[in-house]
Chains A and B, each alone.
Chain A
């Protein structure tokens, strides 16, 4: 919710705001999303070849209330989910990919530009 309030004020500044919320770089994040192959499982607007249907589509992610159906969509929860999904939901189809904290911030910054 806090993210939504944070982001909804001005669309053209969405990248700056997303970066401020996540403390990362959205452009770097987009490239990381491509390199980690997140798009093999998720449909992610703006990322090449990201049309996966294994997991949920991530369009409008900045406005999503929950992550993984149980965590409030806050930057801290998102970092946790991206870096250690199996710790959050044991047995989830989302695997641990070895994303570092720094990288998770960049990835989150990009995801929060998706409105």
Chain B
């Protein structure tokens, strides 16, 4: 006859005890580590990868959760965009910079780095941008503006952030000159209703043909294009869809990609990129292929913003 074993009961008790002991030791260890001052809090050293990941993931979830239910007003009002630009220049540009404008020293010392909003604003919805602007972000240098900017002013900043993604350094300078010289909304186009070539790209761009054309015209000899080539005369076109500028001068939208490919010297007389007599329709196909490289998020957001400007509907 087999006697019922008592061992399991003991084992469970023991396991629980060991677990509790471990947690206590860990907690004490953590406290000791904290108290020792060994952890480097210096902002001029990067975070450990794990710490950075935890901070970022936690921040993203919190912003998503907290900004639920915020109602978005009409953001295409030119006077709102103009006001947003003025407020951006005063309150945001010192740390985030702007197209062609560096952040000031004070912004450069912050860890995590205040991101360039020409790209970073694409990651957030209007309500999320409004929430971040209003409340700021703990464990980053981002202050909340809720206490000293009115709700309308904070929405104006969001309205301008939806515009900044379409501004080249030259555009931004024009905006600056327009406000410095006191040119009012009626004389200046604060909200463009251009299409930036999105419709044409969708209707006529053929990425398969584009890939063949990139071979035919020898683009691949100078550029690294993902799977196609590893040229190093010009810049790599890796993740081209995510890139904000073309040649550092033009915003990367379909119309500008086509304009640049067909006649680069028009924009930069001394560029090493030759005029190859590429026809606009061919350049559109090339663009269609290049836009398959990298995450499509940036172009999706830009397309939605452009469509919103054009239809005067909300986005």
Contacts and interface: CB of A to CB of B under 8 A. Distances in A.
The answer to whether A and B come from one shared complex is yes
Contact of B248 (A64, A68, A96): A68
Among A37, A41, A63, chain B packs the most CB atoms within 10 A around the CB of A37
B249 interface: yes
A76 to B, nearest CB: 17
A63 B232 contact: yes
| Interface majority SS (helix, strand, loop, mixed), chain B | loop
A66 B119 contact: no
B285 interface: no
Nearest to B170: A91
Interface in A36-90: 36-37, 39-41, 48-49, 52-57, 59-60, 63-66, 68-70, 89
B100 A49 contact: no
B169 A69 contact: no
B243 interface: yes
Contacts of A92: 100, 169, 248-249
B232 A95 contact: no
Contacts, number: 99
Given A52-B119, A54-B118, A70-B272, A91 B236 contact: no
Contacts of A56: 235-236, 243
Interface in B213-269: 224, 232-236, 238-239, 242-245, 247-249, 268
A49 B232 contact: no
A57 B248 contact: no
B77 interface: no
A60 B232 contact: yes
Interface residues of A, number: 32
A69 B58 CA distance: 40
Nearest to A49: B46
Nearest to B298: A53
Contact of A70 (B118, B168, B242, B271): B271
Contact of A69 (B100, B102, B243, B268): B268
A89 B268 contact: yes
A94 interface: yes
B272 A69 contact: yes
Interface stretch (B107-115, B128-136, B203-211): B107-115
B195 interface: no
Kindly name the residue among B99, B113, B268 whose own CB sees the greatest number of chain A CB atoms within 10 A.
B113
B248 A53 contact: no
B144 to A, nearest CB: 22
Given A56-B236, A65-B232, A66-B272, A94 B115 contact: no
B268 A54 contact: no
A48 B99 CA distance: 23
B261 to A, nearest CB: 14
A70 to B, nearest CB: 5
B52 interface: yes
Interface of B: 44, 46-47, 52, 97, 99-103, 108, 112-113, 115-116, 118-119, 168-170, 173, 224, 232-236, 238-239, 242-245, 247-249, 268, 270-273, 294, 298
Given A53-B239, A69-B271, 11 more contacts: A52-B116, A53-B243, A53-B294, A54-B119, A57-B236, A64-B235, A65-B233, A69-B273, A93-B245, A94-B248, A97-B102
25 contacts: A34-B44, A37-B103, A37-B113, A39-B113, A40-B113, A53-B244, A53-B294, A54-B243, A54-B244, A55-B244, A65-B234, A65-B272, A66-B272, A69-B247, A70-B270, A70-B272, A89-B249, A91-B170, A91-B173, A91-B249, A93-B100, A93-B248, A94-B248, A95-B97, A96-B102
The 6 closest A-B pairs by CB, nearest first: A48-B46, A56-B235, A95-B102, A92-B248, A65-B233, A53-B242
